[in-house]
Amino acid sequence: MQDFLFSGWGAFWVTLFMLMPFAAMLAYIVYRKSVFDTGPGTTPVKTLSKMEGIWLTFVFVFFVGINLGSLKYMPYIAEARAATSGLPLQEIDVTAKSWGYEMSSRQVEAGRPVRFSGRSVDTQHGFAVYHPDGRMLFTMLLMDGLKQPTTVVHTFKEPGTYKVRCLEYCGIAHHVMLDELTVVKSN
């Protein structure tokens, strides 16, 4: 459940969760107070203030809860966990240039953390890795002229062929800037 929540589709449903009750309430209040009963409200201000407090408390708790729940899925945290796991990191150096990638290796083992270190040598590029089922697993923003590479540590769970795409518009052949990674079973 939590894994789904912090995926792309999880983001979509959380957004709908924020929109739908609000939209329904807006429609109800506008209908009720413009068609059904246009007279002044009889709800005491004190009651409204109490509702305001409950509402703001709910929003605050929801916001904090969601963000705390996401900590586990933040790549920065994943990097720290990989460093303390005792498992040796697999290192892949990536160089992006319009419109392709040079990679130090295109094969990694499942279950072992991989550190991708990416650089660009011309304009901005992305390095997004897609699961074979089409989900995006992560992306990196690569920019020219920096001393250190952009990095992500990711542990692939399943073997398969993973697509790599540039997600930063980089000119007229941006959509053909594609590559692949092969994830094999761990020894």
Partner 1 sequence: MSIASTLVHNTPIFGKMFSVDKSTGLEDINAWPALMIMASFIWLAVAGLLGIVMPVTQIFDLNTDWFYTTLTLHGAALAFPFGFQLMVGVGLHRSGGCVGKPVTGIFPALTFITMNLGAAILTVAVLMGFKVSLVVMFPLPLVGAQMGIWSMTTVIVGFTGIYLVLASMILFYPILVLKMLFFGKKQPELVLSERSLNDPGMLGMVLAALTLLVAGTPLVVVGTTLLLALYGVIPMAMAAWAAKPIVFQYSFYIFAHNMMEAMALMVTSAMYATLPLYLADGTRKLFSNKLANLALWILLLTSVTSFLHHFITFYPNQPSALSYWGNIMSWGTGIGAALSIFTVFATIWQHGLRAEPGIIAVLIAWALYILDGASAVVTSNIAWAYVLHGTMWQSGHTMTVILAMALMWMGVLYHHYPVMTGRKLDPTVGWWFVWLFTVGSFGAALSMLAGGAAGMPRRFAAWNQEGWMIYGNLTLFFGLILGAAFVVYAYSLLKSRDLSVAVGRQPVAA
Where in 127-156 is the site for partner 1 (CB under 8 A)? 128, 130, 134-141, 143-146, 148, 150-152
CA distance 80 to 144: 26
What's the residue count for the chain?
A: 187
Q: Which of residues 20-79 bind partner 1 (CB under 8 A)?
A: 22-23, 25-26, 29-30, 33-35, 37-41, 43, 48, 51-52, 55-56, 59-60, 63, 66-67, 70-76
Smallest separation (angstroms) from partner 1 to the CB of 88 = 21
3-state secondary structure of 94: strand
| Binding status of residue 174 toward partner 1 by CB under 8 A | yes
- Sequence-ordered alpha helix ranges (H) in the chain: 2-5, 8-31, 45-70, 75-85
Give the residue with the Cβ less far from partner 1, 25 or 83.
25
CA distance 65 to 61: 6
Smallest separation (angstroms) from partner 1 to the CB of 92 = 16
The pair of three-digit structure tokens given for residue 34, joined into one six-digit string: 């413009």
Count of chain residues binding partner 1 (CB under 8 A): 76
